[in-house]
């Protein structure tokens, strides 16, 4: 016990035993929705997940995975991996980046912090560059926050502003980029009327330019660096609306994958490279897809690609993206302080943990799960395994991804007897769902189901327990709908494909030979969400959860 009286020691569960191997399976982007032709999970053959559902209501139920249940501002906010895995791992609901930035802008606190004071030093003689995702998706950023920040910057003395946009089409409809760029252009022209030299300087599609994650493909970040910092790109335009419209005409491209472009002046010179003395703000609040750029902007020593030029800038993140690395060092809004996660408690109570996914979701079951913290708590007790993802492809081309490899690693970890918790994220429903390719997403769901079977079979062999859930919906609905729930059509009479996540709840199933007789889901927590899963899992490891955790979803009847 520390001097504060705090102790990591968890109380023993009065009825449940310790020492059972628990498999914790997160199907990324696997929500529960009406069965219809746009529900890829329904269409796919998913015998394992179907059989779990038959355990309802005692061994299968739904949990909330969006809006306030995961710390997002409103019930209209779809869930996402960051907030979903944070809730699953932390067992409590924290106000998330989206909300914290809203509050900081609303109260004006954002302008009083150290981060803003730091970038302000560049206002007199330098340019302020804002780099980030341009949409109202609310997963990584939100356009209204950018608009408020632009207003705030202009009212506080910024004289020259350049915005480097990343088009979305993943958290919002494909094609919506044009409207967002028009909105931004109109805001910037109003600033120009007030005498502020404000323009869009560069752009590109988020998945092809800048927003890679977990170091899967540094080329993506390099393409962005060349356009944003060096002012160099294969495509040059005088105007960003024209740029996005024209680049969308390239066959097989989409908002997510637009090639990089720069805006040039009449003499063909790029209007906004980043140079010594400038300030840079990365406007995304979510960490995973900004941290690589943050490294490139901040690290003196850097060998991931040739930066050509490393300008001396004042850089701040919207949030700090990695608390361990203190990256970036300066930021406008403090991130949520997600402490005392279930992973840390369990390791401190002797639970040996194995976590695995492929690169594109590896940080989800480690970094996000552990409250946005890199690395293990105790390397003697934990092993985190990353299966390398394919890079340079869209995942509809290989919808099986690495699901079976992940399942095999989990199986081996379970059978080894070396671990008490074996945790995986199976990415398929989400990563392929984001491509909007219905046929491929059906294949993705089928293989994710096969992967679950491999893990459950291993649990059967060792007499363990399984917990199967998801972090938010995606593959269960692939069409944009009106308020009545009817599919929406575009101008050409084609359905509007939904590439984003959804507001749907997700399944939660428990079982396995190690599950003590009499364990069942309580029926008095009907609004339970992802944050209730941590206490539930702690119970299955034989412990009571800390008293401030969201309540457990299980009870033991004699």
**81 makes contact with Mn ion (CB under 5 A):** yes
Q: What is the nearest approach in angstroms of ligand 3PG to the Cβ of residue 87?
A: 13
Of the CA atoms within 13 Å of residue 257, those in its CB half-sphere come to: 12
For Mn ion, the binding residues in 534-553 under the rule CB under 5 A are none
Binding region for Mn ion (CB under 5 A) out of 6-14, 67-75, 80-88, 198-206: 80-88
213 has binding-site annotation: yes
| Nearer to ligand 3PG among residue 253 and residue 348 (C-beta) | 253
Residue 425 CB, shortest distance to Mn ion, in Å, is 8
User: Is 164 annotated as a binding-site member?
Assistant: no
Task: Please state, in angstroms and rounded to a whole number, the distance separating the CA atoms of residues 29 and 374.
Answer: 23
CB 515 within 8 A of CB 459: no
When asked if residue 171 is in the footprint of Mn ion (CB under 5 A), the reply is: no
Judged by beta carbon, residue 80 or residue 532, the one nearer ligand 3PG is 80
For residue 314, CA distances in Å to 42, 165, 317, 537 come to: 50, 19, 10, 44
* Helical spans, DSSP H, in 138-215: 143-155, 177-193
Q: How far is the CB of 43 from ligand 3PG (least distance, A)?
A: 21
Measured from the CB atom, is 27 or 119 closer to Mn ion? 27
471 is in an annotated binding site: yes
Q: How far is the CB of 254 from ligand 3PG (least distance, A)?
A: 14
Return the number of the residue (171 or 476) whose C-beta is nearest ligand 3PG: 171
Select the binding partner of residue 139 from ligand 3PG, Mn ion, none (C-beta < 5 to 8 A, by kind).
ligand 3PG
Full DSSP string of 399-437: TTTTHHHHHHHHHHHHHHT--SEEEEEE-HHHHHHTTT-
3-state secondary structure of 52: helix
Q: Is 170 annotated as a binding residue?
A: yes
Q: Which residues contact 503 (CB under 8 A, 6 or more apart)?
A: 66, 67, 75, 76, 78, 79, 473
Q: How far is the CB of 28 from ligand 3PG (least distance, A)?
A: 6
Residues contacting residue 73 through CB under 8 Å, at least 6 positions apart: 98, 99, 102, 138
Ligand-binding site membership of 142 (annotated): no
Contacts of 151 (CB under 8 A, 6+ apart): none
- Selecting among 3, 4, 51, 81, the annotated active-site residue is 81
Integer distance in angstroms from the first to the last C-alpha of the chain? 35
Is residue 4 part of an annotated ligand binding site? no
Q: Whose Cβ is closer to Mn ion: residue 386's or residue 430's?
A: 430
Is 535 marked as binding a ligand? no
- Residues 410-449 as x/- pattern, contact with Mn ion by CB under 5 A: --------------------x-------------------
Residue 422 CB, nearest approach to Mn ion (Å): 19
Which residues are within 8 A (CB) of 134 and not within 5 positions of it... i.e. 6 or more apart? 141, 143, 146, 165, 166, 167, 168, 177, 180, 181, 184
Q: Is 28 in the site for Mn ion (CB under 5 A)?
A: yes
Which residues, in sequence order, are CB contacts of 271 under 8 Å at separation 6+?
A: 162, 199, 201, 262, 263, 264, 265
- 288 vs 382, beta carbon nearer ligand 3PG: 288
CB 83 → ligand 3PG: shortest distance, Å?
A: 8
Q: Give φ, ψ of 185 to 5 degrees.
A: -60, -40
Name which of 140 and 314 has its Cβ closer to ligand 3PG. 140
CB 140 → ligand 3PG: shortest distance, Å? Answer: 6
Any idea which residue has 């002046």 for tokens? 265
Considering beta carbons, is residue 352 or 501 the nearer one to ligand 3PG? 501
117/90 Cα distance (integer angstroms): 33
Q: Is 162 annotated as a binding residue?
A: no
Q: Who contacts 117 (Cβ-Cβ below 8 Å, separation ≥6)?
A: none
Q: Which residues bind ligand 3PG (CB under 6 A)?
A: 28-29, 80-81, 139-140, 170-171, 289, 430, 434
Residue nearest ligand 3PG, CB atom distance? 81
CB 492, min distance to Mn ion, A: 27
Spatial distance between the Cα atoms of 436 and 456, rounded to a whole number of angstroms:
29
- The single residue listed with the structure tokens 């069965």 is 35
Is 81 annotated as catalytic? yes
Select the binding partner of residue 402 from ligand 3PG, Mn ion, none (C-beta < 5 to 8 A, by kind): none
Whole-number Cα distances in Å, 275 to 30, 228, 229, 231, 363 = 44, 10, 7, 10, 32
Least Cα distance to 507 among 433, 445, 434 occurs for 445
349 binds Mn ion (CB under 5 A): no
Q: Which residue is nearest to Mn ion (CB)?
A: 81
- Which of 223/352 has CB closer to ligand 3PG? 223
Say if residue 15 carries a ligand binding annotation: no
Asked if 212 touches Mn ion (CB under 5 A), the answer is: no
Residue 289's binding partner among Mn ion, ligand 3PG, none (Cβ under 5 to 8 angstroms by kind) is ligand 3PG
Chain residues 452-511 in contact with Mn ion, contact rule CB under 5 A: 471
Q: CA 314, 200, 151, 66 torsion: positive or negative?
A: negative
Query: How do the residues of the chain divide into helix, strand and coil, expressed in percent and rounded to 5?
Result: 30, 20, 50
- At 70, list the tokens: 């995961």
Is 245 annotated in a binding site? The answer is no
Contact 31, 432 (CB under 8 A): no
Annotated binding site for Mn(2+): 28, 81, 430, 434, 471-472, 501
So which residues are the catalytic ones? 81
* Interface positions with Mn ion (CB under 5 A): 28, 81, 430, 471
Annotated binding site for substrate: 140, 170-171, 206, 213, 286-289, 361
Annotated binding site: 28, 81, 140, 170-171, 206, 213, 286-289, 361, 430, 434, 471-472, 501
């Amino acid at each position: 016990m520390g001097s504060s009286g705090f102790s990591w020691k968890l109380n023993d569960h009065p009825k449940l035993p310790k020492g059972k191997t628990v498999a914790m399976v997160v199907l990324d982007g696997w929500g529960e929705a009406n069965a219809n032709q746009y529900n890829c999970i329904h269409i796919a053959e998913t015998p394992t997940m179907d059989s779990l559902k038959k355990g309802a209501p005692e061994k299968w139920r739904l949990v909330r995975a969006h809006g306030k249940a995961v710390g997002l501002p409103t019930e209209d906010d779809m869930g996402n991996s960051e907030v979903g895995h944070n809730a699953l791992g932390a067992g409590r609901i924290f106000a998330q980046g989206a909300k914290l930035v809203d509050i900081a802008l609303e109260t004006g606190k954002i302008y009083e912090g150290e981060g803003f004071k730091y970038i302000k030093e560049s206002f007199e003689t330098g340019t302020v560059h804002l780099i980030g995702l341009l949409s109202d998706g609310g997963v990584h950023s939100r356009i209204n926050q950018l608009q408020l920040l632009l207003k705030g910057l202009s009212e506080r003395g910024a004289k020259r502003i350049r915005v480097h946009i990343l088009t979305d089409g993943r958290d919002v409809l494909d094609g919506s980029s044009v409207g967002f760029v028009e909105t931004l252009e109109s805001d910037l022209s109003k600033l120009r009327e007030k005498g502020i030299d404000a323009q869009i300087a560069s752009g590109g599609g988020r998945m092809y330019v800048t927003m890679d994650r977990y170091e899967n493909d540094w080329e993506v970040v390099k393409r962005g660096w060349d356009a944003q910092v060096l002012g160099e790109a294969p495509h040059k335009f005088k105007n960003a609306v024209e740029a996005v419209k024209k680049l969308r005409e390239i066959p097989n491209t989409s908002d997510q994958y637009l090639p990089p472009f720069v805006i040039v002046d009449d003499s063909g010179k790029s209007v906004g490279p980043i140079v010594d003395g400038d300030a840079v703000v990365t406007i995304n609040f979510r960490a995973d897809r900004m941290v690589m750029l943050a490294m490139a902007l901040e690290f003196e020593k850097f060998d991931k690609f040739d930066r050509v030029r490393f300008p001396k800038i004042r850089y701040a993140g919207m949030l700090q993206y990695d608390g361990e690395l203190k990256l970036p060092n300066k930021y406008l809004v403090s991130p949520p302080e997600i402490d005392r996660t279930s992973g840390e408690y369990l390791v401190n109570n002797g639970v040996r943990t194995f976590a695995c996914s492929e690169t594109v979701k590896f940080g989800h079951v480690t970094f996000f799960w552990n409250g946005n913290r890199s690395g293990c708590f105790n390397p003697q007790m934990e092993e985190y395994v990353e299966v390398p993802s394919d890079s340079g492809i869209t995942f509809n081309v290989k919808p099986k991804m690495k699901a079976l490899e992940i399942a095999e690693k989990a199986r081996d970890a379970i059978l080894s007897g070396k671990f008490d918790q074996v945790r995986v994220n199976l990415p398929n429903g989400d990563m392929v769902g984001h491509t909007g390719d219905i046929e491929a997403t059906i294949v993705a769901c089928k293989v994710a189901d096969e992967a679950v079977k491999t893990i459950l079979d291993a649990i059967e062999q060792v007499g363990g327990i399984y917990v199967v859930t998801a972090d938010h919906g995606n593959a269960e609905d692939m069409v944009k709908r009106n308020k009545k729930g009817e599919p929406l059509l575009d101008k050409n009479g084609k359905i509007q494909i939904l590439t984003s996540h959804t507001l749907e709840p997700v399944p939660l199933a428990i079982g396995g030979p190690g599950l003590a007789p009499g364990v069942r889901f309580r029926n008095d927590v009907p609004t339970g969400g992802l944050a209730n899963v941590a206490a539930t899992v702690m119970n299955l490891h034989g412990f009571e959860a800390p008293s401030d955790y969201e309540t457990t979803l299980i009870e033991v009847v004699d």
